[in-house]
Amino acid sequence: MRFDPLLLGWSLIGYAAMPWLRRHTQTRLQTGKEEASRLGERFGYPTQPRPPLHMPVLWIHAASVGECRAVLPVIECLFRQHPSLTILITTATRTGGQVVTAHAASFKGRLIHQFIPYDAPHLLSRFFAHWRPNGLVLIESELWPGLLCLCQREHIPVMVLNGRLSARSARRWQLAAPLLRYLLRPCRWIMPRSQADQRAFTQLGIAPLLPPADLKEDAPPLPFDAADAVKIRQHLGGRPLFVATSTHPGEEDLIVAAAQEARQQRPNLLTVIIPRHPERGAALAAQFKAPCRSQNTMPQDQDPLWIIDTLGEVGLFLHLAERVLIGHSLYPPGGGHNPLESLRFRRPTAYGPYMQNWQDICTTYATFLHQLHDKDALIQWLVRPTIPAPPPLKRSKISHDATCLIMNIILGNKEK
């Protein structure tokens, strides 16, 4: 076995970091970011069995909610085309795990969720020894040294879907481009998310690269409970809903202030804020003296604001919305979130001046999106009585193409 100095050095750091990692895990548990019954998964101890060794296991790592939603069409396509395949999907967050769990039942035990172990080689080795994956698919930018070095040592092929390398990250990697290329030795291919990401990988000498494609263009509309939609609509009595999704700290103040001024012309306007991190919901409700979905409180006629801090209900409120604002785009550094989610519901959609993580998508769908540069522009957009609905969006064939590419590698690796 070839000596790997990076793996050795990272292993020593991993052992030294164990006391801190244990304290860190307990802190996360106390703040609701971990599940007590599954803490062992963070240290490489499995909580589910592996299928028989003759059956292939594909490992997909999707850090959180957005990545999990993006890869679901690929998972569905993989299962349709390969009946004997089991998919192990790991996440770094509970919310990502909940997205997976919500879909796992429909796949009859073929989709297994575990939390990703910390990136310490001795913990990951325990994980590898149990699961023995035939290949690893990374979603977006989860490039961890221990993980990649162990994949190289264990001859596990790695593929990257929606490969993401922001301009800021690319600048940081310029001085260490040889190290990044060394880490990516087990990587068979990278499918960049956008042309900008493709350029960033190329400038660092990363190869092989597939043509850029964004999995989110192949995603179906977010699910929602139709019965809940009817109940809410009946309760609200036809009030128009302005929905601000995936908001981050500071943005809510601007949104509430703009909506308050807009209500002078549209007094029945109801603003719905869906914070990116649901645990902020109670504090926002207290700050703005607003009803809160997790507390089972509904807005009354006089209430201008409703805080939605429940999981899995973004689709419900996009369905109910009159118009939608994309959060994480109003203040620097921002970056934005996925505007296709609201466009798939044919809702007029706006975003702020800091949407750089979605530049290609915003350019492609510029005809159907509204860029707002400041609070006054948001007010003017809110008081417009009608805004034309975007046309239906077509889904791409990215998931089918990705499935073929993945299985070519997995089946070849299984035969070795």
Burial of 367 (0-12, 13-18, 19+ CB in 10 A): exposed
Q: What is the pLDDT of residues 122-146, one digit of tens each?
A: 999 999 999 999 999 999 988 899 9
| pLDDT, position 359 | 87
Query: Beta strand pairing status for 86-91 and 111-115?
Result: parallel
d(CA 384, CA 77): 42
With CA atoms as reference, report the closest residue to 198 among 360, 378, 19: 360
Q: Determine what percent of the chain is predicted with pLDDT higher than 70.
A: 99
Task: Tell how strand 241-247 and strand 270-275 pair up.
Answer: parallel
Within its chain, how far is the Cα of 364 from the centroid?
21
Mean pLDDT across the stretch 101-121?
A: 93
CATH classification code of 39-220+398-415: 3.40.50.11720
Global pTM reads 0.84
For residue 6, count other CB atoms closer than 10 A to its CB.
15
Rounded-to-5 percentages of helix, strand, coil across the chain:
50, 15, 35
Closest CA to 103 of 83, 136, 76: 76
CB 335 within 8 A of CB 355: yes
Token pair of 302, please?
């006089």
Task: Please tell me the predicted confidence (pLDDT) of residue 311.
Answer: 84
Domain boundaries of the chain, sorted by first residue: 39-220+398-415, 226-383
Helix axes 5-16, 18-30, angle to 10 degrees: 60
CATH number of 226-383: 3.40.50.2000
Helix 375-383 to helix 251-262 angle (10° resolution) is: 40
Name the nearest CA neighbour of 140 among 162, 157, 158. 162
Token representation of residue 121: 């080689």
| pLDDT for 384 | 95
Among the residue ranges 105-109, 166-170, 186-190, 251-255, the one predicted with the least confidence is 166-170
pLDDT > 80? residue 86: yes
Q: Which long-range contacts (CB under 8 A, 24 or more apart) does 21-30 make?
A: 21/118, 21/120
In sign, the C-alpha dihedral spanning 101, 103, 106, 110 is: negative
| pLDDT for the residue numbered 357 | 85
Q: What is the pLDDT of residue 416?
A: 46
Give the catalytic positions in this structure. 67
Q: At what angle do helices 398-415 and 65-81 cross, to 10 degrees?
A: 70
Mean pLDDT (whole number) for 361-372 = 94
CA-based end-to-end distance of the chain: 17
pLDDT in tens, 210-265: 999 999 888 889 989 999 999 999 999 999 999 999 999 999 999 999 999 999 99
Contact 205, 173 (CB under 8 A): no
Give pLDDT, residue 330: 97
Q: Is 262 helix (H, G, I), strand (E, B) or coil?
A: helix
CA gap 371, 354 in Å, rounded: 10
φ/ψ bin of 220: left (φ > 0), alpha (ψ from -120 to 50), beta (otherwise) = beta
Distance CA 412, CA 416 (A): 7
SS3 219: coil
Tell me if domain 39-220+398-415 and domain 226-383 are identical in fold: yes
In this prediction, residue 414 has a pLDDT band, given cuts at 50, 70 and 90, of low
Q: Is 30 exposed, middle or buried (0-12, 13-18, 19+ CB in 10 A)?
A: exposed
pLDDT by residue (tens digit) across 378-394? 999 999 988 999 999 88
Query: What is the CB-side half-sphere exposure of residue 217 using CA atoms within 13 A?
Result: 18
Residues in the chain: 416
Q: What is the dihedral of CA 308, 312, 313, 316, to 10 degrees?
A: 170
Does the structure show a pLDDT above 70 at 64?
Answer: yes
State residue 171's pLDDT score: 85
Would you say 138 and 406 are in contact if contact means Cβ atoms under 8 Å apart? no
In the predicted model, what is the mean pLDDT of residues 61-82? 91
